[in-house]
Structure 1
Amino acid sequence: MPWCGLEFLLVLCGLKFSWSCPRHCICYTAPSTVSCQAHNFLSIPDGIPPNSERIFLQNNKIHRLLRGHFSPNTVTLWIYSNNITYIEPSTFHGFTLLEELDLGDNRHLRSLAEDTFHGLSRLNALHLYRCGLSTLPNNIFKGLRNLQYLHLQDNHLKYLQDDTFMDLHNLSHLFLHGNRLWSLNQNTFRGLRALDRLLLHKNQIEWVDRLAFHDLKRLTTLYLFNNTLVELSGQCLDMLPALEYLRLNDNPWSCDCKALSLWEWLKSFRGSTSSVGCQAPVNMVGKDLKELHKEDLSSCSSTVSESRSQTNNLSGTVNPSMNRGVALGSGDQTHIVDPSRPGPPKNCTKPRNKVSKKKGDNEVHHSKEVISDKEDSSLDFTEGGKLEHTSPDGTVTRRKHKCSTRTTVRPPSGVQQANNKAPSSKSSLHIQTLFVALIVTNIDHILR
């Protein structure tokens, strides 16, 4: 009697009940469906009709998926929330009708063969969330040109190889949040020209190449909140002409001069953005980058900014020697040339007009002083031509005065300096000669 009631309900819903069905499962036709969810199955149950279009096996304890478990007629297959640890590479080969495959929440799956999904030309949605995946093989998504939804969130992915998504020309939603990604390279998202939403929050992203989003011309939603971003180039976001929603909150943003390009981009953006909370420098903590004025970002330590460019390099490749001066000179004279300022070193002894500059509240103090563009960049030297102090990392501490006082040049010891009062030896000899000549003349005159 209960089965009759169930069949009656299915008929009311427009479904025709099927009596050919695995034990403990419910099957019906139009469309042909097998529902075996939440029965603690340890393996795929026997007796699934070969013409089944929809198969629901979620919330069981299935361990393995092998070739022959399912029919190529399958259109929808849900096997989420099981204990799957292994999928035979050929399990889905020939499933040209499969449109939705949900393998999510199989936390011990951990790895997949490169050709697991090859040939699924009609696949529209692929769910691989919470599967314990730490890597994705090369070409794992090859040929999935109709895929629109890819769920990879809440795995252990640390790195995405270039061109991983190259064939996903119709992908509109990519979910990568809740992983351990730390970098986004230039070709990480190459080929995703139809992508509409990209969710990257709750990762460990600290490095974003300025061309990382160059193919995402139709992206409207980008989530980067809750990562470890210190800075982000505005040029990186310029690659997203269709962007409407952006979330950058909960990152340790440094609101010094390196944040200027992001600040300028945010000022021109017409979409919706979250707050961009500053975590450095100290006087900016708690402020929103969007609310700052340009002059708030104009003064910061060049040394701090350059070293951060090396370690985080959020806007492209930086030469490792950027923050090191190049030593030039001859003999016992040495000049340190700032690589950011081309041209020969300036002569420290030449007179110059200094521009007095008050230290702003947001100035970062460091062993290297901030030098304005109009000031000389030569270093101070002590006696013997040696630098005043060189730290273990090779940086040079500048003295308060950029140039030492020029000392008076004195003659070598043992040489008397000439002056106007002291007659020369030649003058004395000339006088003596005249005196002798005068005496001789007088004697000659007397004798005559």
Structure 2
Amino acid sequence: MLSGVWFLSVLTVAGILQTESRKTAKDICKIRCLCEEKENVLNINCENKGFTTVSLLQPPQYRIYQLFLNGNLLTRLYPNEFVNYSNAVTLHLGNNGLAEIRTGAFSGLKTLKRLHLNNNKLEVLREDTFLGLESLEYLQADYNYISAIEAGAFSKLNKLKVLILNDNLLLSLPSNVFRFVLLTHLDLRGNRLKVMPFAGVLEHIGGIMEIQLEENPWNCTCDLLPLKAWLDTITVFVGEIVCETPFRLHGKDVTQLTRQDLCPRKSASDSSQRGSHADTHIQRLSPTVNPALNPTRAPKASRPPKMRNRPTPRVTVSKDRQSFGPIMVYQTKSPVPLTCPSSCVCTSQSSDNGLNVNCQERKFTNISDLQPKPTSPKKLYLTGNYLQTVYKNDLLEYSSLDLLHLGNNRIAVIQEGAFSNLTSLRRLYLNGNYLEVLYPSMFDGLQSLQYLYLEYNVIKEIKPLTFDALINLQLLFLNNNLLRSLPDNIFGGTALTRLNLRNNHFSHLPVKGVLDQLPAFIQIDLQENPWDCTCDIMGLKDWTEHANSPVIINEVTCESPAKHAGEILKFLGREAICPDSPNLSDGTILSMNHNTDTPRSLSVSPSSYPELHTEVPLSVLILGLLVVFILSVCFGAGLFVFVLKRRKGVPSVPRNANNLDEPSANMNVSTVHFFIYFAYVFVSFVSSFFQCGSGKRRL
């Protein structure tokens, strides 16, 4: 009886606690947060709400969502802080003054793909910082005070592709820090890196597609040879790497220097030994030992919140800060009155006369809000603001721009001609916005553009001729969108070397008019699309497997039909893909021109099958005619000599008018007939040879 009463008491207390917990856990969409749905994903906007914790909030349990917690007071993240947020795919924690992340803070975020920790006060990334984030693909931790990264900090992030660590205090990277991740993009700009070893660091980022190393105080001596050697062997996009020391190389681009420049043979013996070590034992190199976790740096008080000045020792804050905004110039340059928009940070580099304008996470709603206008801007960063429309007149005074970063805004509209004045722009970032349709006039004026980033939008359609004006375009990222098809000749006017179509809705792609417009040996990523491995995909299979095929960064994996789900396309035979078409091989033959590098595939048509013609190059045709002519001359000369010798060998016989030498006459007549016949045969042969050659060339 007593035990029964005790059991009932326990149940009652448990019920009361559960009820109180439900009352405490408030629905996040019914208090101060704004929830709106876009493309079947719920956006929960809790920016600038003064939250010190979010563990007591209750998000939707059966919906995937993006959670925006920018600008709150989350200075510490405690264990199980986000245990209720299991359906979050994106988490923004920028501008929170975040200084500490306790072990297990991200537990429960098993589906999170993007984590933004930018503009905080983090100093160390520990091995247990990112526990629970096994699905993470994108990590942004720029504009912190990170001076140390433990070797295993990213070891559990096996799906991590993009890592942004620019504008921190990193002096070096630990050995094997990237060993267990397959990074495609790495941003290390604005740190304190002087060298970067091959062993333990560079050797583990072989799949990198973009690495940015600008604005570090690179020490261009023998110690930099491993980095130089690595840069000489890769073809990926690399930002400017400028020497800080020694003085003789100050301001020089590392990629333009020779090994002799970095490590002169007549240098001191210790330098020679280092150079020899770098040349012959590159595998044994170890990264620079990481100093103490709190290296000497500018005091935090000198770094105002939300306006982060890069803490590099070679820059000083301009005395004109109140008048012209927070401008920084190199100590080696004389101060000049440069204007900088309020709330932005501007830097002037010795490598050019322009200005780098950083207006990241400043809550701008329009580009026209940047006042006063910056002086000769070279790079403009407007990442993470609230921009929704790029108006036609917004960028009229920015014709000097080389880089424009509009990523991670809310841009859904770009007015016609908005970029028409940016004739010098080489890099344009529009990633992480709400663009749905691309059209030709959107990119008017961008004839110098080389790199275009459009990933992580909601692009469903690309109009014909959209990229025709981008004649210098080399890199195009369209991954993580909603594309199902591409118009004919969409890449015809470009000079692409890298194309990313990953994670769209392509079930198949036509070769004729689309893929055959791409240069040979282009790097292309087609992974994570719902490829339908039936007869329609045979053109793509032939194109990727041809001798002049492109570099496929990741394998094409079938999603349908069910019998091929999960199988790699190149390992499937033709009969397995299209068993009901016995003449498939005839209908999918590649028509190739051996004098060009562009692979072309003919589409399958049951009514018309292409003929396979062999082309006779003009050089072969001329050589053949020359050989025939020489043989003919030799043969004719030999025959002529033979006839003369025969005539000299016949004894003289008296002749008169009525008694002619009949054998001799017959021989002369036969010789003439032979030469006439030989000339006729030779002319006929040459004529037919020309007709055959020209006909085959036309085919």
Q: Shorter-chain TM-score category?
A: 0.5 to 0.7
Cα distance, 1:28–1:244 mapped onto 2, change above 3 Å: closer
Q: Given residue 228 of structure 1, which amino acid in structure 2 is its aligned partner?
A: H
Q: Given residue 556 of structure 2, which amino acid in structure 1 is its aligned partner?
A: V
- SS of 2:499's partner is strand
Note the aligned Cα RMSD (angstroms).
3.7
Aligned equivalent of 1:287, options 559, 564, 567? 567
Q: Does structure 1 conserve the Cα–Cα contact (< 8 Å) formed by 2:342 and 2:371? A: no
Q: Does structure 1 conserve the Cα–Cα contact (< 8 Å) formed by 2:460 and 2:483? A: yes
Q: How does 1:229-268 map to 2 (within 5 A)?
A: 229-235=506-512, 236-268=514-546
Give yes or no for the alignment of 1:102 onto 2:102: no
Greater relative contact order, per chain length (Cα 8 Å cut-off, separation 6+): 1
Give the structure 2 partner of residue 51 of structure 1. 337
Give the structure 2 partner of residue 179 of structure 1. 457
Q: Does structure 1 conserve the Cα–Cα contact (< 8 Å) formed by 2:341 and 2:372? A: no
Q: Distance in 2 between matches of 1:88 and 1:31?
A: 31
Q: How does 1:3-18 map to 2 (within 5 A)?
A: 13-15=313-315, 18=318
- SS of 1:150's partner is strand
Q: Distance in 2 between matches of 1:167 and 1:27?
A: 30
Q: How does 1:121-200 map to 2 (within 5 A)?
A: 121-200=399-478
Q: Distance in 2 between matches of 1:242 and 1:148?
A: 23
| Residue deviations 1:381-423 (CA, integer Å, cap 9, x gap) | xxxxxxxxxxxxxxxxxxxxxxxxxxxxxxxxxxxxxxxxxxx
| Residue deviations 1:342-391 (CA, integer Å, cap 9, x gap) | 9xxxxxxxxxxxxxxxxxxxxxxxxxxxxxxxxxxxxxxxxxxxxxxxxx
| Residue deviations 1:196-249 (CA, integer Å, cap 9, x gap) | 2111111111111131111122x1111111111111012312211154321111
Q: Given residue 319 of structure 2, which amino acid in structure 1 is its aligned partner?
A: W
Q: How does 1:415-430 map to 2 (within 5 A)?
A: none
Tell me the CA shift for residue 31 of structure 1.
Answer: 6.9
Q: Does structure 2 conserve the Cα–Cα contact (< 8 Å) formed by 1:32 and 1:51? A: no
- SS of 1:260's partner is helix
Q: Distance in 2 between matches of 1:194 and 1:242?
A: 16
Aligned equivalent of 1:22, options 322, 327, 336? 322
Give the structure 1 partner of residue 490 of structure 2. 212
Tell me the CA shift for residue 82 of structure 1.
Answer: 1.6
| Residue deviations 1:241-273 (CA, integer Å, cap 9, x gap) | 154321111110111111111111111214233
Cα distance, 1:31–1:291 mapped onto 2, change above 3 Å: farther
Cα distance, 1:225–1:92 mapped onto 2, change above 3 Å: farther
Tell me the CA shift for residue 21 of structure 1.
Answer: 2.5
Q: Does structure 1 conserve the Cα–Cα contact (< 8 Å) formed by 2:535 and 2:577? A: yes
TM-score normalized with structure 2 length: 0.35
Q: Does structure 1 conserve the Cα–Cα contact (< 8 Å) formed by 2:408 and 2:431? A: yes
Give the structure 1 partner of residue 146 of structure 2. none
Cα distance, 1:14–1:92 mapped onto 2, change above 3 Å: closer
Instruction: State the number of aligned residues.
Output: 269
- SS of 1:22's partner is helix
Greater displacement, 223-232 / 270-279: 270-279
Give the structure 2 partner of residue 431 of structure 1. none
Cα distance, 1:51–1:223 mapped onto 2, change above 3 Å: same
Give yes or no for the alignment of 1:226 onto 2:508: no
Give yes or no for the alignment of 1:113 onto 2:391: yes
Give yes or no for the alignment of 1:76 onto 2:356: yes
Cα distance, 1:112–1:253 mapped onto 2, change above 3 Å: same
- SS of 2:434's partner is coil
Aligned equivalent of 1:275, options 555, 560, 563? 555
- SS of 1:139's partner is coil
| Residue deviations 1:99-136 (CA, integer Å, cap 9, x gap) | 11111110x22112111112422210001111101121
Q: Given residue 286 of structure 1, which amino acid in structure 2 is its aligned partner?
A: G
Q: Does structure 2 conserve the Cα–Cα contact (< 8 Å) formed by 1:140 and 1:164? A: yes
- SS of 1:88's partner is helix
Q: Distance in 2 between matches of 1:78 and 1:285?
A: 46
Q: Distance in 2 between matches of 1:21 and 1:185?
A: 46
Tell me the CA shift for residue 50 of structure 1.
Answer: 8.5
Unaligned runs of 5+ in 1: 34-48, 60-72, 302-338, 343-448
Identity of aligned residues (%): 25
> Which of the two has higher C-alpha Rg?
1
Cα distance, 1:143–1:76 mapped onto 2, change above 3 Å: same
Cα distance, 1:264–1:132 mapped onto 2, change above 3 Å: same
Q: Does structure 2 conserve the Cα–Cα contact (< 8 Å) formed by 1:114 and 1:139? A: yes
- SS of 1:19's partner is coil
Q: Distance in 1 between matches of 2:370 and 2:364?
A: 16
Cα distance, 1:29–1:173 mapped onto 2, change above 3 Å: closer
Cα distance, 1:279–1:20 mapped onto 2, change above 3 Å: closer
Q: Does structure 2 conserve the Cα–Cα contact (< 8 Å) formed by 1:92 and 1:116? A: no
Q: How does 1:332-347 map to 2 (within 5 A)?
A: none
Tell me the CA shift for residue 274 of structure 1.
Answer: 1.1
Tell me the CA shift for residue 290 of structure 1.
Answer: 1.9
- SS of 2:435's partner is coil
Q: Does structure 1 conserve the Cα–Cα contact (< 8 Å) formed by 2:326 and 2:340? A: no
Q: Distance in 1 between matches of 2:369 and 2:340?
A: 21
Richer in helix (by share): 2
Tell me the CA shift for residue 182 of structure 1.
Answer: 1.2
Q: Does structure 2 conserve the Cα–Cα contact (< 8 Å) formed by 1:164 and 1:189? A: no
Q: Distance in 1 between matches of 2:369 and 2:326?
A: 29
Q: Given residue 552 of structure 2, which amino acid in structure 1 is its aligned partner?
A: S
Cα distance, 1:270–1:189 mapped onto 2, change above 3 Å: closer
Q: Distance in 1 between matches of 2:402 and 2:462?
A: 25
Q: Given residue 483 of structure 2, which amino acid in structure 1 is its aligned partner?
A: I
